[in-house]
Structure 1
Amino acid sequence: MADVEYFLDETPGETRGIVARGGEYHALYIERSSDPVQHRRGTRQIGRVARVEPGLKAAFIDLGVGDPFAFMALPKNIRLDVGAKVEITVSAEPRESKGAVVKYVGPASGDVRVLEAGPSVRDRMQSMAGDQLMTGLPALRASLEAEEAALTTVFQKAEFGLDLSVERTRALVSVDIDYAPLPGRDSRKGREAVNRAGLFEAARIIGLKGWGGLVVVDLAGVYLQAESVNQAARQAFAPFEDVAFGPLSRFGALQLSLPWHGRPVDEVLRDSVAAPLGVVRRLNLAIHEDRTQPVWTLEAGPQWSNLLKPLVAELGPRARLVIKEQGAALKVSKG
């Protein structure tokens, strides 16, 4: 297996980019056909000042796609009035109930509009992978495996005696590194190894899940060498932009802060349309895996009819949609 592999899964309704290193998934980028380009990171556009909050030294910007409005920190010596037009770029996409975060470029005029769209998932993957980008059946399988990994919270690595938990609350990301002593290994050296392995694994998982904000790491043991722990943490989180590291506490806890750039992957995978889009992906996988079966059927309740009809049609003549009674389970079957 190649050290780094790149996959692009373009299932109707949802495009996914996946990055794997050494056989483990490090990134899962998800973009839906319904996502407004105005929310895409890197999009340059003209917005309208909807509200100014002097206490926050910020303004809320109408991007033309409704609530929630984008948040923009006001640069020094810049005064804006409600209704003013500004040129902005998106630095972080919406998440939960929060709108996009945008950066001020300068004053503008004219209608609220997109000037230049930010890179799509396809653009980003092609930029990273070039002609090494894999599509089709390998990408579909990688997409589903990466999804499963992104929804997992507990991880083990027996060779280090590592038992790792990574979870997110409203306030922070909690990382708990536990050590299961291995026979014949020095306990102190074992804890050093498991903490290093745990930091690298936590960084991989947090990147895969697309999380940001405050991260608190509960390391194995309390009498730790701060210098070696901080060095390992900086190496583990080197792929992240603008990481701020806090000191190692006497209780063996390390704090760091990661910027938010996009909507958390687990939030996307659990929202109201995740299930019907997921069953379209399973239908696409079935069609790719079994070329001998002439037709595959997706059964769904009437509440999903308008969403699923165009997506199933995009899969071609081997895909069929059958609408059942209200509340029917989403199901893929032969014939």
Structure 2
Amino acid sequence: MSERRLYLDAGVGETRGVVTLDGKPERLLIRRDEEDLRLALGARLVGRARRVDAAIGAAFIDLGDGAEAMLPFKPAERPVEGSVLEVEIRSEARHAKLAVVRLVGEGQGAPRLLDPPPPLRDQLAALVRNARIVDGADARRMADAAQAEALQTLHALPGGGVLAIEPTRALTALDIDLGDRKGADAKRVTRQVNLVAIAEAARLLRLKGLGGLVVIDLVGRGHDGAALLAAARLAFAPDNPGVALGPISRFGTLELTIPRRAPPLHDSLCGAHGGLADRALAQALIRRLEAEARANPGARLVARASPDIADAARPLAMKLAAVVGARFTIVPDAKLARERFEVAAS
């Protein structure tokens, strides 16, 4: 029987929540201090129907202060342009896409936030009932491991084989490779690796925050479609409601759609160049400084980082000083690569 555990890493400038499945990260929730909570999953707001487009069955909702979301509607439920509505964020904004809201009812007054989204602790508790939430050093280690795995492309499969996960603009493509998986019966080996890969694919897609159209390129030929579809229904059950599975195609692919609720982690952690964004690297630097400060009480610390990362870390450094004291300095060093920092105690 599967076991899920919960971890909450409350850091300086950022809180991370992790759900593990049988000891492996399954979900990673990140909330930063500067995040606009009006557009976070579960927030309730008053908005105004700025424009109603019957051709696409959606209304564009003005949420105030420049924020906007999309409200899909059925023909019989078409809102009136200019009407004031109460809505709830059901899918967060992602790259080049607006947040999606659901209609709660009629609203009153100016566009504004009514109720913020639940804190991460409550979100974790809702995902796994009656589970103890682990915090402290264990939570930080698990959150770091979850973040590292979420950003990988190639994932080793238990027992051998490799699963590659690559999102594109149109869909997320997954490729299963036997790798060095051993076995004399080729058909049995390919069936086994496909079943393992489907279970891992479901976990990893949840971890990465990927949804929409997903295509899994299965390994081998002559697939047992019924067994693979049964395995997929079980593996992707936690993503319901809204998961839809297609039959195994004659090309050996399994296609499915998964509801999009939160943006992919890659969008918030990585920059346009594909590597970690300055904000994510600055957060890693602050975590490193915090760990050194706790390990060396009273010592003065000097951190060196590339100029861009040192600059991005300044707002976080002010918050860290309130926690460990103003006994550290962050020095810009143009000789250091973006991903590298040095912290020393004196």
Shift of 1:12: 1.4
Letter in 2 for 1:296: L
Question: In structure 2, what is the equivalent of residue 285 of structure 1?
Answer: 291
> 1:190 aligns to what?
189
SS at match of 1:71: strand
Q: CA deviation at 1:76?
A: 3.3
Is this contact kept in 1: 2:304–2:333, CA < 8 A? no
Distance 1:93 1:12 in 2: 24
Q: Percent identity?
A: 32
Residue aligned with 1:304, SS: helix
Aligned partners of 1:81 and 1:332: how far apart in 2?
58
CA positional deviation for 1:106: 1.9
Secondary structure of 2:315's counterpart equals helix
Q: Aligned equivalents of 1:55 and 1:123: distance in 2?
A: 39
Paired letter, 2:157: K
Structure 2 CA distance for aligned equivalents of residues 58 and 247 of structure 1: 30
1:233-248 to structure 2, matched below 5 A, reads: 233-241=232-240, 242-248=242-248
Residue matched to 2:299: 294
Give secondary structure in 2 for the equivalent of 1:118: coil
The residue number in structure 2 matching 1:31 is: 31
Q: Does 1:101 align with 2:105?
A: no
Residue identity matched to 1:334: A
Deviation at 1:108, TM superposition (A): 1.6
8 Å contact from structure 2 (residues 18, 143) kept in 1: yes
Q: Distance in 1 between matches of 2:27 and 2:21?
A: 9
Provide TM-score, normalisation by structure 1.
0.90
Q: Which residue of 1 aligns with 2:177?
A: 178
Equivalent residues of 1:296, 1:332 under 8 A apart: no
What is the rounded CA distance, in whole Å, between the counterparts of 1:165 and 1:153 in structure 2? 6
User: CA 1:310–1:255 in 2, change beyond 3 Å: closer, same or farther?
Assistant: same
Alpha-carbon distance in 2 for matches of 1:295, 1:13: 21
Question: Cα gap change, 1:317/1:190 in structure 2, threshold over 3 Å: closer, same or farther?
Answer: same
Tell me, yes or no, if structure 1 residue 331 matches structure 2 residue 341. Answer: yes
User: How far 1:276 sits from its partner (Å)?
Assistant: 1.3
> C-alpha distance in 2, partners of 1:82/1:95?
25
- Confirm or deny: 8 A CA contact 1:295 1:320 kept in the other structure: yes
2:124 alignment partner AA: M
Between the aligned partners of 1:131 and 1:221, the Cα distance in structure 2 is 40
Instruction: Give the secondary-structure state (helix, strand or coil) at the position aligned to 1:56.
Output: coil
Unaligned runs of 5+ in 1: none
Deviation at 1:327?
A: 9.2
CA distance in 1, matches of 2:72, 2:190: 43
Given that 2:214 and 2:256 are in contact with CA atoms closer than 8 Å, whether structure 1 keeps it comes out as yes
Let me know the Cα RMSD of the aligned residues.
2.5
Q: CA deviation at 1:248?
A: 0.9
The aligned runs of 1:1-335 (5 Å cut-off) are: 3-67=3-67, 69-127=68-126, 128=128, 132-157=132-157, 159=159, 161-180=160-179, 182-241=181-240, 242-271=242-271, 272=277, 273-288=279-294, 290-291=295-296, 294-299=299-304, 301=307, 303-304=311-312, 306-317=314-325, 320-324=328-332, 331-335=341-345
Stretch moving more, 311-320 or 225-234: 311-320
d(CA) in 2 for partners of 1:181, 1:305: 43
For the 8 Å contact 1:312–1:319, the answer to whether it is kept is no
Alpha-carbon distance in 1 for matches of 2:261, 2:118: 13
Amino acid at match of 1:333: V
> C-alpha separation between the residues in 1 aligned to 2:43 and 2:280?
25
State the Cα distance separating 1:84 from its structure 2 match.
Answer: 2.0
SS for the counterpart of 1:256 is: strand
Q: Structure 1 CA distance, aligned partners of 2:50 and 2:104? A: 17
SS in 2 for 1:191: helix
Deviations 1:290-319 (A, max 9, x none): 246733334454733652343322332275
SS in 2 for 1:248: coil
TM-score, length-normalised on structure 2? 0.87
Helix, strand or coil at the partner of 2:86: strand
Tell me, what secondary structure is at the counterpart of 1:77? helix
Q: Comparing 18-27 with 79-88, which one deviates more in the overlay?
A: 79-88
Using the TM superposition, name which of 34-43 and 318-327 deviates more: 318-327
Question: Which segment drifts farther, 267-276 or 32-41?
Answer: 267-276
